[in-house]
């Protein structure tokens, strides 16, 4: 159970590098993507994202991916949808309070974070609440648009 999730946090460093590489490529492709049209690309992108991220991270397609901050552990798998760290109910064995058979996503996130070996602990960035309008849309396209365009146009 949850083998891929565990594998992903163990390989957080490599996956984060891969993630940044994809990001760079997409940023480079931005003019092309814009010409095709972001709205038109959303569906095909989502198909790729839910296949890859779904397999590796059990992604929930929130459309505003922050796994780069959470040691490659998808916080949307938390039954309380906590995006800013573990609740106080984590069991002594590191499993979830609500789903006793599942490792707490934040215990995994902390493990992944330590593998990232970054100076600033990314886990410490306070994440805003989920924008429910973005759920089910492509997080990668959104990220690219935030990076390239003014963030106010990105949504």
Partner 1 sequence: MQFEDEPLVPGQRLPIRPGHSSFGRLERVLRAGGFAVTAEIAPPDSANSAEVYERAALYDGYVDAMNATDGSGANCHMSSVGMCSLLCRRGYAMVMQVSARDRNRIAIQGDVLGASAMGVASILCLTGDGVDVGDHPQAKPVFDLDCMSMLSMIRCMRDESRFLSGRKLTEPPPVFLGAAANPFAPPLDYRPLRLAKKVAAGAQFVQTQYCFDIEAFNRYMAAVRDAGIHEKVFILAGVGPLASARSAEWIRGNVPGVHIPDAVVRRLKGAANQQREGVNICIDMIHRIREIEGVHGVHIMAYRQEHWVAEIVERSGVLDGRRPWQPPLDWKNAAWDRGHPAVTNAPGRQAMEKVS
52, 94, 134, 146: which one contacts partner 1 (CB under 8 A)? Answer: 94
| Cα 70 to Cα 58: distance, rounded to the nearest angstrom | 14
Helix (H, G, I), strand (E, B) or coil at 103: strand
User: Would you give the distance in Å from CA 50 to the centre of its chain?
Assistant: 11
- By CB under 8 A, residue 86 contacts partner 1: yes
Stretch that binds partner 1, among 21-29, 62-70, 88-96, 139-147 (CB under 8 A): 88-96
Smallest gap from Cβ 76 to partner 1, in A, equals 11
| Cα 151 to Cα 155: distance, rounded to the nearest angstrom | 8
- By CB under 8 A, residue 80 contacts partner 1: yes
| Cα 55 to Cα 5: distance, rounded to the nearest angstrom | 9
- The contact set with partner 1 (CB under 8 A) reads 79-94, 97-98, 104, 106-107, 110-111, 121, 123-124, 126-130, 132
């Amino acid at each position: 159970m949850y083998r891929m999730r565990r594998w992903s946090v163990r390989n957080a460093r490599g996956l984060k590098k891969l993630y940044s590489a994809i990001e760079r490529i997409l940023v480079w492709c931005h003019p092309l993507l814009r010409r095709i049209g972001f709205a038109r690309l959303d569906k095909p992108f989502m198909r790729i994202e839910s296949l890859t991220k779904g397999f590796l991270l059990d992604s929930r397609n929130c459309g505003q991916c922050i796994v780069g901050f959470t040691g490659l552990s998808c916080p949307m798998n938390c039954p309380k949808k906590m995006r800013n760290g573990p609740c106080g109910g984590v069991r002594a064995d590191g499993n979830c309070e609500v789903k006793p058979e599942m490792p707490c996503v934040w215990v995994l996130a902390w493990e992944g974070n330590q593998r990232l070996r970054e100076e600033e602990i990314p886990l410490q960035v306070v994440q805003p609440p989920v924008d429910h309008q973005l759920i089910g849309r492509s997080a990668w396209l959104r990220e690219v648009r935030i990076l390239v365009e003014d963030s106010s146009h990105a949504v």
